Amino acid sequence: MKKLRNNLLLLFILFSRVLHADLLDDDEQKKKLEIKKSTQDNSSGLLNAPKSTSPLEKTNEAQPQKGHSTDKKAVKSDEKDKNKKKKYQDNKNLPVHFKGEDLSGLKEKGIVEFHKNVEVTQGDLFMQSDFAEIHFNPLTNEVEKVIAKGKVKIRKETTETGESAQATSNFAEFDVKEQNLILKDNAELIKGGDVLKGNLINYNLKTGWVNVTKVKGLVKP
């Protein structure tokens, strides 16, 4: 009887140990599952997290577009340059250049004639005609006077008011020293917005003084 009791006690102890081992295994399995799940959740959070913006990207995004503003400034600058009047250029002491298809005369005698497609320039003054006489000072050989005939066209880029001037006629006499222009025969002078026509126009390029006989034209208010 005593032996049987000992055997039963031994069996009970063995059964308790097996049961305890099984419980430990279950706890370890649960812990492993919890760790795995936690790892998956963290990974998912990292994948779904909003993309960070680098400082360089933030700078580029914050920087305003200045293209249109720059274009507007450029347009305003161009308009300002167009409306800006030029400073008068005095051509008195500048050399006189001339050319044409045919030439006759002698500089030392004081006169040279040019025929066909004649062009005379001095600084910003340009003169074109069918015929021109260039009068020289015999002592200095400097040009004193230019007489142009036939389809005369004259342009001065700057005047005393800072505007350009244009003139046409069939006859023109230009005094180089005095910078004075005499126009005859269908004479017309355009300066700024003013248009003057007459039988004779006397115009000083330096002072702006104008004298017209039998005048007709339009004067800008």
> What is d(CA 188, CA 212) in angstroms, rounded to the nearest whole number?
10
Q: What is the DSSP string of 121-146?
A: EETTEEEEEEEEEEEE-TTT--EEEE
pLDDT at 217: 65
Encode pLDDT of 21-78 as tens digits: 554 455 555 555 555 555 555 444 444 444 544 444 444 444 545 555 555 555 555 5
Say if 180 falls within a structural domain.
yes
pLDDT at 106: 84
Say if 120 falls within a structural domain.
yes
Averaged confidence pLDDT in the chain: 76
Encode pLDDT of 151-201 as tens digits: 999 999 887 777 889 999 999 999 999 999 999 999 999 987 889 999 999
Say if 137 falls within a structural domain.
yes
* Cβ–Cβ < 8 Å for 163, 172: no
pLDDT at 87: 73
> Which domain CATH number covers 162?
2.60.450.10
Report the Cα–Cα distance between both ends of the chain, in Å, rounded. Answer: 146
Task: Give me the number of domains the chain comprises.
Answer: 1
Host domain of residue 171 = 97-218
Confidence of residue 85 (pLDDT cuts 50, 70, 90): low
pLDDT at 159: 78
Say if 202 falls within a structural domain.
yes
Higher-scoring residue by pLDDT: 42, 104: 104
> What is d(CA 208, CA 202) in angstroms, rounded to the nearest whole number?
10
Nearest Cα to Cα of residue 201 among 184, 216, 218? 184
pLDDT at 46: 42
Say if 212 falls within a structural domain.
yes
Percentage of residues of the chain with pLDDT beyond 70:
59
* Cβ–Cβ < 8 Å for 132, 100: yes
Is residue 7's pLDDT more than 90?
no
